[in-house]
Amino acid sequence: IRKKLYEHILTLPLSFFHKSSPGMVVSSLVTEVATAGEFVGQAISTPVTNLLTLLAFGAYMFYLNPLLAVLSLATYPIVIFLVPKLQARSNKANKTRVDITRRMSSKVDEAISGIHEIHGNNSHGIENRKYGRIVDELFKIRIVWILYKNGVKVLNNFFQNLGPFILFLVGGYLAIQGRFDLGA
């Protein structure tokens, strides 16, 4: 991916380089491509494994007790509805975080490249304030992104533990009533 992206960047028109900062281009090549590569590797294996596991356990649960199987799988539609909504917000916040990080990288590159002008004009304070605003913006969006990202994890964990809780509750009641094997 990096090779192709670099090859593509070199063929872009000069107007792209007038509008884009070197820091943004470097950040794209160095840090952001790795995440895409990891995603591609897991995009097929994880869903296939999870789906096969769900089908195997679901079939076995229906074999043991259809009522408990339905109760256990009843939480999945809720998860399928809620998680993508939270994930979309997390992705949007992450995109904003990446954009701000690129801006910050460009600001540092610009300051280092123009350090003689900064010293010559005694504009340390101005440059510090500009950089500080970007850092503050990055700090705020990172908090939002982390809240959404962890919200997805909390929601997943909650529903993942709710299924067994319902099974133990209803299964235990049925076992006490003598309508269900304790082992099953």
Supply the mean pLDDT for the chain: 85
Region at 178 (left for phi over 0; alpha for psi -120 to 50; beta for the rest): left
For residue range 6-48, list pLDDT tens digits in order.
888 888 888 887 887 777 777 777 776 666 666 666 777 788 8
pTM of the model: 0.62
pLDDT digits (tens, 9 = 90+) for 140-170: 999 999 999 999 999 989 988 888 888 888 8
For residue 180, the 8-state DSSP code is S
